[in-house]
C-alpha cells in the first residue's frame, strides 16, 4: 500500500451499487481531504477521464449504466477538490 502525507493513495475497499441507470461507488476513508473518481473502458486503461470529485466516501454517477458498455472505475485520494 502506498502512503503519502499520512494517508493512502487509494482506498482499500470499493463497493459498487447499481440504482437503475446510475452507479454509486462507496469506499473506505483514507484520511485524504478529498477523492477523485476516474473511469476507463479498459481494465488496463489510462483512467484519464475524471468522473467526479468529492470530500465524501461515496459518489453517484448518473447514467453510468449503458447497454453493452463495460466501464472500470478507480478512486484516488486527492489533496484538492
Task: Work out how many domains the chain is built from and give that number.
Answer: 1
- Quickly state the pLDDT bin for 7 (edges 50, 70, 90): low
Q: What gap in Å lies between CA 61 and CA 51, rounded to an integer?
A: 7
Distance CA(10)–CA(23), nearest Å, equals 19
Residue 20 belongs to domain with CATH number: 2.60.40.10
pTM, two decimal places: 0.84
pLDDT at 80: 72
CA distances from 63 to 18, 33, 78 (A): 10, 27, 25
Range of the domain at 60: 3-78
The tens digit of pLDDT for each residue in 30-54 reads 989 999 999 999 999 898 999 999 9
* Residue 68, pLDDT above cutoff 80: yes
pLDDT of 64 above 50: yes
Give the pLDDT confidence score for residue 8 in this predicted structure.
62
Amino acid at each position: 500500500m502506498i502512503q503519502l502525507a499520512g494517508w493512502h493513495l487509494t482506498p482499500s475497499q470499493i463497493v459498487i451499487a447499481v440504482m437503475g441507470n446510475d452507479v454509486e461507488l462507496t469506499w473506505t476513508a483514507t484520511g485524504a481531504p478529498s477523492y477523485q473518481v476516474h473511469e476507463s473502458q479498459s481494465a488496463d486503461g489510462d483512467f484519464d477521464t475524471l468522473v467526479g470529485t468529492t470530500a465524501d466516501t461515496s459518489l453517484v454517477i448518473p447514467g453510468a449504466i449503458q447497454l453493452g458498455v463495460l466501464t472500470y472505475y478507480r478512486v484516488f485520494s486527492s489533496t484538492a477538490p
